[in-house]
A and B are shown apart, each in its own frame.
Chain A
C-alpha cells in the first residue's frame, strides 16, 4: 500500500482528500503545517507528498526544497490556487521536480484517481534514487499542463458566465442610458474573452447584444432581438466550452501570416448554393472559402490548405471535372476529398464525377434542412483517422512492399505471415480492412474469409483477397466465401490503393448509417455503449469525471394514445434534433430505446451535466407539437449519474441514473435529479 503525506492547513480539505485517497487504497498521514510534516517524515517513509502551496510567504517553497534535499526521488504534488503557481511553475518543476501542480478547487475523487497513474508512471516512487534530484525525470510536457490549466480556467469561466449574462440583462432591463452603457461595456468585454475560453458562440451572440445596445444608445432604438440574442448566449454557455482549435473563432493578427486551419472550398457560381454551404459551415464550425471560377479556385487552393472541396459540375458553361485533379496537385492538398454538385441528374454525369475522384454527389436543388448533415457526413470521411489495414501474406518481401505502398498513402499497417493467430490479431487491432493472400500455408485465404463471415463481429469487415490465379473458378470461390474484392497479382500499387480506399470508405459510411437511429438521428444503444465505454476508460485513466444522463419522456404512451403515433414520432424526432444541436462534439447522445434517451459528457461533473440537462428540459417544454386533439407539449424526467461519485463502470452509472430517474418519476415527473456531488462543498468554499 502506498503512503501519502498530506500537508494542508485546512482541516476540511484534509478530511475530504483523506477520504478520497483512502477509497483509492492509499494510507494517509496528515499534517496541518510544515513543522508537523517534518516530524511525520522523520517517523516513517512515504511514497508521495501532497502539499498545499498556498502560503504566500514562500515557506512552502522552503519546505519543498528541504524535502527534496532529503528525499530526492519521492513525487510531490502541489495544491494551489492559480496565479502564484503559474508564476513559479518553472521553479517548481525544474528545480524541485514537482510532479504535478493541481489547482483548487480540487475534485477530490478524480484527484485521488489520478495519483494512481502518477505513482505507477513515476519510477522514483519504486526505489530510492541514488543520483539525486538533478537526474530526476523531466517534468510533464508543457502541452498537457497547458491543456489542463486551460480546461480549468475554462470551467471557472463557464461558472461565472451565467451571473455575467444576468448582470447584462439587469442593466438592460433598467432601461436608463447609463445602465445601457454599462451593459454595452460588459457585453464588449465578454465578447472579447469568451472565444479565448472556447465559448466562441457566446462571444458571437454577445457581439449581437453589443451592437444592438450601441444602436439603441445612438438612435434610441427598441432593442428588439436583445432577448433572443441573450438567450442564445445562455444556451451556448450551457453547451460548455469547445476545446477543439477550429472552434475558437477569429484568431488572427494583421502583420504575421496566420497559420490557417484547413477550409472547405466551394466552387460554384450559384450564390444561393454558396449561401447554403456557408450556413452549413457555420453550423459545423468549418471555415468555408468560395470561388466562382476554376482560376479563382486554384489560386485559393495554392494559398491555403483545404479540408475538402465541393465543385459544381458546370462552371461558366464548361465542365469542371478536371478541376478535381488540378486541386489535388496543389501542394498540401494531395489527399483531399472532393464532392460534385449539379442539377444534372443523368447517371453519366455522376459517373464522370466519380471518375474524377469524387466521393460524394450533391443533387441540386439540395434540401436546406438536412444539407448541413450531408456536408458533415462528407467531411467526416475526409477528416476521419487514418484507416488501419491488416495484411496477411507468407512472403515477407511482398509484405514489405504492400506495407510501404500503404504507409506512404497514409494507412496504418500491421502484418502477419500466417493466418493462425489472425482472430487474436483482429481483436487486438480492430482494423478497417483485411488484405489477404488467397494461398496461405495451412489455411487458405478463402477459408479465412468464410470463417470470418460466420462471426457477427467480422461479418461486415472489408476483406480483399489477392490471387495470381484469376480463373472463373477461383473468382467464384473468392466471392462465395464473402470476399469484398479480389485483386490479381502482380498488384499495381495504384489499383491496390484505389480498391482499398473504396472499400474502407463504403464500410465507414455503412457503419455510420447503421449506428444511427433513423427517427431521432442519435446513436443506437450498442454504438453508444461502445463509445461511452471508450470515454469512461479514458476518464478512469486521466482521473477526469464523466457524467451520464438517462432521460425518459413523460407519459409518452398517453401522447401516442391521444394524439396518434405520428405525433409521437414527431416528438421523438424533434427531441432528437434538440439533442443533436445542443452539445460539444465529444458529448455522446443516444436513443436508448422507445422513449428513453441517454447522454454522456466526458470530462464533466454532476453540476454541469445537471444544468445542461435542465436547460434542455426547459427548451423541450417550450416546443409545441400537432396531434389529433390539437397542439400539445411534452416533458421528460432525467437522472444524472457521474463517475466517480456513482461508481466506475458503465453499469454502475446506468443503474444510478436509472434510480434517480425513477425517483424523479415517483415525485411528479418533469424534472432532472442528479447524484449528490461530494465535491460541491469544496467547490463552493474554495473559489479562486
Chain B
C-alpha cells in the first residue's frame, strides 16, 4: 500500500511520513506541491493520496480536479489535511470527491490509523 503525501510544509511532510511508515507500515512517496504531486502520482501510481489543502502552486481542490481529469489517476482515493475544519468546508471537500478530511494539527501516533480507517470506510 503506497501513499503519496503532498504538503508544501517540510515539517508536516517529515512527521506525517514518519507516522505513515513507522506506525502504519505504508510505503510513501512525497511531493511539496500540487504540480509536483501530479507528476509523482503518474510516476509512482500510489494507492492513496494524502494532501494539504492550502498550497501555493496548486491547492488541494485544484489537484483533486486535475487527478480526476486523468483517467489513470481518477480512481485514487484522496484525503485532505487542513487546519480549518468548518462543517461547510468539509462538506465542500467531500462533495468534491475526497474520502475524508483530517484536521491539522494531527497526532503523529494516530495519523496512520486515521488514514487506514478512512480508507476502509470508503471501501465499505
Binding site for B on A (CB under 8 A): 82-83, 86, 89, 142, 145-146, 149-150, 153, 157, 160, 188-189, 191-197, 200, 203, 245, 248-259
A146 with B23: CB separation less than 8 A: yes
Bound state CA distance, A45 and B80, in angstroms?
A: 53
Q: A142-B23, A153-B15 are in contact. Are A196 and B104 (CB under 8 A)?
A: yes
B18 with A150: CB separation less than 8 A: yes
B15 with A196: CB separation less than 8 A: yes
User: Which of chain B's residues has its CB closest to A148's CB?
Assistant: B22
On chain B, the residues within 8 Å of A149 by CB distance are 18, 22
On chain B, the residues within 8 Å of A257 by CB distance are 117
User: Which of chain A's residues has its CB closest to B54's CB?
Assistant: A188
Interchain CB contact (< 8 A) of B104 among A89, A145, A157, A195:
A195
Q: How close is B6's CB to chain A, nearest CB, in angstroms?
A: 14
A254 with B15: CB separation less than 8 A: no
A255 with B17: CB separation less than 8 A: no
On chain B, the residues within 8 Å of A86 by CB distance are 17-18, 21-22
On chain A, the residues within 8 Å of B90 by CB distance are 254
User: What would 20 A/B residue contacts be, using CB atoms closer than 8 Å?
Assistant: A86-B18, A188-B83, A191-B105, A192-B81, A192-B104, A193-B11, A196-B108, A196-B111, A197-B15, A200-B105, A250-B103, A251-B105, A251-B106, A253-B114, A254-B90, A254-B101, A255-B100, A255-B118, A256-B100, A258-B114
On chain B, the residues within 8 Å of A193 by CB distance are 9, 11-12, 15, 104-105
Q: How close is B64's CB to chain A, nearest CB, in angstroms?
A: 16
A253 with B22: CB separation less than 8 A: no
The answer, yes or no, to whether B42 is at the interface (CB within 8 Å) is no
Q: Is the interface of B mostly helix, strand, loop or mixed?
A: helix
A194 with B105: CB separation less than 8 A: yes
User: Which of chain A's residues has its CB closest to B112's CB?
Assistant: A146
A253 with B103: CB separation less than 8 A: yes
Interchain CB contact (< 8 A) of A254 among B9, B17, B19, B100:
B100
Q: Which B58-88 residues have C-beta < 8 A from chain A?
A: 79, 81-83, 85
Known: A83-B14, A142-B25. 17 other contacts (CB 8 A): A82-B14, A150-B109, A160-B11, A191-B83, A192-B82, A193-B12, A196-B12, A196-B15, A196-B16, A196-B108, A245-B109, A248-B105, A249-B105, A251-B106, A252-B103, A254-B101, A255-B99
User: Which of chain A's residues has its CB closest to B93's CB?
Assistant: A254
On chain B, the residues within 8 Å of A82 by CB distance are 14
Q: How close is A243's CB to chain B, nearest CB, in angstroms?
A: 10
Bound state CA distance, A589 and B93, in angstroms?
A: 47
Q: A188-B83, A256-B117 are in contact. Are A195 and B18 (CB under 8 A)?
A: no
Bound state CA distance, A127 and B113, in angstroms?
A: 41
On chain A, the residues within 8 Å of B21 by CB distance are 86, 89
A-B residue pairs, 7 tightest by C-beta: A195-B105, A256-B117, A251-B107, A192-B104, A146-B22, A192-B83, A193-B11
The answer, yes or no, to whether B102 is at the interface (CB within 8 Å) is yes
Q: A153-B15, A191-B83, A196-B12 are in contact. Are A256 and B121 (CB under 8 A)?
A: yes
Most chain B CB neighbours (cut-off 10 Å) among A188, A197, A254, A258: A254
User: Which of chain A's residues has its CB closest to B87's CB?
Assistant: A254
Bound state CA distance, A149 and B82, in angstroms?
A: 24
A253 with B18: CB separation less than 8 A: no
User: Which of chain B's residues has its CB closest to A160's CB?
Assistant: B11
On chain B, the residues within 8 Å of A248 by CB distance are 105, 107-109
User: Which of chain B's residues has its CB closest to A252's CB?
Assistant: B103
On chain B, the residues within 8 Å of A189 by CB distance are 9
Q: How close is A145's CB to chain B, nearest CB, in angstroms?
A: 6
Bound state CA distance, A250 and B83, in angstroms?
A: 10
On chain B, the residues within 8 Å of A153 by CB distance are 14-15, 18
B107 with A196: CB separation less than 8 A: yes
Question: Which size class do B's interface residues fall under?
Answer: 35 or more
Most chain A CB neighbours (cut-off 10 Å) among B19, B94, B109, B111: B109
Binding site for A on B (CB under 8 A): 9, 11-12, 14-19, 21-23, 25, 54, 79, 81-83, 85, 90, 94, 99-111, 114, 117-118, 121-122
Bound state CA distance, A553 and B15, in angstroms?
A: 41
On chain B, the residues within 8 Å of A192 by CB distance are 9, 12, 81-83, 104-105
A146 with B11: CB separation less than 8 A: no
Q: A82-B14, A189-B9, A193-B15 are in contact. Are A150 and B118 (CB under 8 A)?
A: no
User: Which of chain B's residues has its CB closest to A256's CB?
Assistant: B117
On chain A, the residues within 8 Å of B94 by CB distance are 254-255
B105 with A253: CB separation less than 8 A: no
Interchain CB contact (< 8 A) of B108 among A142, A150, A255:
A150
Q: How close is A147's CB to chain B, nearest CB, in angstroms?
A: 9
Q: A189-B9, A191-B83, A259-B110 are in contact. Are A251 and B99 (CB under 8 A)?
A: no
Q: How close is A183's CB to chain B, nearest CB, in angstroms?
A: 15
User: Which of chain A's residues has its CB closest to B29's CB?
Assistant: A87
Most chain A CB neighbours (cut-off 10 Å) among B83, B102, B109: B83
Most chain A CB neighbours (cut-off 10 Å) among B99, B100, B105, B107: B105
Q: How close is A285's CB to chain B, nearest CB, in angstroms?
A: 13
Interchain CB contact (< 8 A) of B11 among A157, A200, A255:
A157
Bound state CA distance, A197 and B12, in angstroms?
A: 9
A250 with B105: CB separation less than 8 A: yes
Interchain CB contact (< 8 A) of A245 among B15, B19, B102, B107:
B107
Q: How close is A199's CB to chain B, nearest CB, in angstroms?
A: 9
Q: How close is B51's CB to chain A, nearest CB, in angstroms?
A: 13
On chain A, the residues within 8 Å of B100 by CB distance are 253-256
On chain B, the residues within 8 Å of A145 by CB distance are 22
Q: How close is A410's CB to chain B, nearest CB, in angstroms?
A: 25
On chain B, the residues within 8 Å of A89 by CB distance are 21-22
On chain A, the residues within 8 Å of B19 by CB distance are 146
User: Which of chain B's residues has its CB closest to A197's CB?
Assistant: B15
Q: How close is B52's CB to chain A, nearest CB, in angstroms?
A: 8
A253 with B15: CB separation less than 8 A: no
Bound state CA distance, A259 and B122, in angstroms?
A: 18
Bound state CA distance, A189 and B10, in angstroms?
A: 10
B105 with A196: CB separation less than 8 A: yes
Q: How close is B89's CB to chain A, nearest CB, in angstroms?
A: 10
Bound state CA distance, A189 and B122, in angstroms?
A: 29
Bound state CA distance, A499 and B120, in angstroms?
A: 48
On chain A, the residues within 8 Å of B111 by CB distance are 196, 251
Q: How close is B123's CB to chain A, nearest CB, in angstroms?
A: 12
User: Which of chain A's residues has its CB closest to B104's CB?
Assistant: A192
Most chain B CB neighbours (cut-off 10 Å) among A82, A89, A196, A251: A196
User: Which of chain B's residues has its CB closest to A191's CB?
Assistant: B83
On chain A, the residues within 8 Å of B109 by CB distance are 146, 150, 245, 248
B15 with A203: CB separation less than 8 A: no
Bound state CA distance, A192 and B103, in angstroms?
A: 9
Most chain B CB neighbours (cut-off 10 Å) among A150, A197, A255: A255
On chain B, the residues within 8 Å of A146 by CB distance are 18-19, 22-23, 109
On chain B, the residues within 8 Å of A252 by CB distance are 102-103
Bound state CA distance, A50 and B22, in angstroms?
A: 23
Q: A89-B21, A145-B22, A197-B15 are in contact. Are A255 and B105 (CB under 8 A)?
A: no
User: Which of chain B's residues has its CB closest to A258's CB?
Assistant: B114
On chain A, the residues within 8 Å of B108 by CB distance are 150, 196, 248
